[in-house]
Structure 1
Amino acid sequence: MLIERVLTESDLPLLALIDRSELVEECYRVENAELILYLARFDMRGWPEGEAEENARVLEKCWRSGGWLHGLFDGETMVAAVVVDNRVIHNQGLKMRQLKFLHISRDWRGQGLGGRLFALACEHGREVGAEALYVSATESRNTVEFYQHQGCRLLKQPDPELFALEPHDIHFYCRLD
């Protein structure tokens, strides 16, 4: 049975243990405000070098500034987590909060956990007065189509700061009304 709970500071190192392995065969890119699917093949194993450590720093800063972190555990093992930043982003006439992190361990995918955590993130966003979630999604087909299935739409103009951090990501928003 999975245990669902708000994460504490002591849980932050566990985020790097989520197995994000995936064989990616197709990706999306944005051209002329349209999503274009293209063939790409890479075997994502674990976290790219240094990314887990960078994520830990970013998510600790998010936690310290009032961000919302929520996880799912199988016993003591974190199998999925979602993080919503506390910083307000103004884009497309909406007050948004960024979905900073949403990962499900490979062995736990396909069970609806991603949708469940995304719904909790949306609920949290509404509770803090956000009108939308801002999502900077990796370009893999599975990830992009997951967010589209959750109701996310392509941003006309990504946030300049977030786009500079992740220029290859697909920048979405999901209205919360």
Structure 2
Amino acid sequence: MTIYRALAPEELGRIRDRDRSERVTHGYVQHGSEIERREVEWDIPTFDRYGDGPWSVARKAAEWKAIAEQSEAFGALDSERLLGVCVLRHRLRADMVDMAELAVLHVDRAHRGQGIGRRLAIMGIAAAQASGARAIYVSASDAERAVRFHLGLGFCPTATADPTRLAQEPTDIRMVLRFGLDDAACPCKGNLKVR
């Protein structure tokens, strides 16, 4: 049985047991507020359990813990195994009091497609709204699965990239979900340009 709950920052070290690997055959490139689908051949490896490189357990757990200590983290657990994690940053930047960030959303490879990521994202979105945010930003992987997932939640590509996230992940797809907009007012409802 999967349990969804808030995680203490120190629990994020449990990502050691998760497999983030993925074979990607379609990805996206962003041009302002438009995205372009393209064929790709990417093999995304799992977390490095022993090193200290950019995708090592040690590095990611430390980065995510630092965010969670200032904001919130949520997890999906089966017994004691961490199946998925969501880390919310209440403020994208200190000067942006109404823009939160869905900073991390990962689900173990064996548990994708079961609604875990969606439920965790909704927990993060609800926490952002409760903190007073009027919108939430995500720098999503350019892999098709991630882009389609965020579009399905109502996120729209934005031409306004956060400079820090853009420098960290220049190929990511930058998206925003604005709270309280009906379908007619949402900037990409019916206007999303996918090349």
TM-score (norm 1): 0.90
Q: Does the C-alpha gap of structure 1 residues 32 and 8 become closer, same or farther in structure 2, counting only changes over 3 Å?
A: closer
The answer to whether 1:85 aligns with 2:89 is yes
CA contact (8 A) 2:32 2:159 kept: no
Mapping for residues 85-164 of structure 1, pairs under 5 Å: 85-89=89-93, 95-164=98-167
TM-score (norm 2): 0.82
Number of matched pairs? 175
Query: CA-to-partner distance for each residue in 1:33-85, whole Å, 9 max, x for gaps?
Result: 321111111222312662132211211211222x1101011111000111101
How many angstroms does 1:95 deviate by?
1.8
CA contact (8 A) 1:73 1:79 kept: yes
How many angstroms does 1:156 deviate by?
1.9
Given residue 85 of structure 2, which amino acid in structure 1 is its aligned partner?
A
CA RMSD of aligned residues (A): 2.0
Structure 2: how far apart are the matches of 1:143 and 1:168? 13
CA contact (8 A) 2:88 2:104 kept: yes
CA contact (8 A) 2:91 2:98 kept: no
Give the SS at the match of 2:98.
Answer: strand
Per the alignment, residue 44 of structure 1 pairs with 44
Identity of aligned residues (%): 29
Structure 1: how far apart are the matches of 2:175 and 2:92? 15
How many angstroms does 1:160 deviate by?
1.4
Q: What residue ranges of structure 1 are gaps of 5+ in the alignment?
A: none
Structure 1: how far apart are the matches of 2:114 and 2:32? 35
Per the alignment, residue 10 of structure 1 pairs with 10
Superposed structure 1 runs of 4+ greater than 6 Å apart = none
Per the alignment, residue 166 of structure 1 pairs with 169
Q: What residue ranges of structure 2 are gaps of 5+ in the alignment?
A: 181-195
CA contact (8 A) 2:27 2:37 kept: yes
Structure 2: how far apart are the matches of 1:147 and 1:89? 21
Greater CA deviation, 31-40 or 96-105?
31-40
How many angstroms does 1:99 deviate by?
0.7
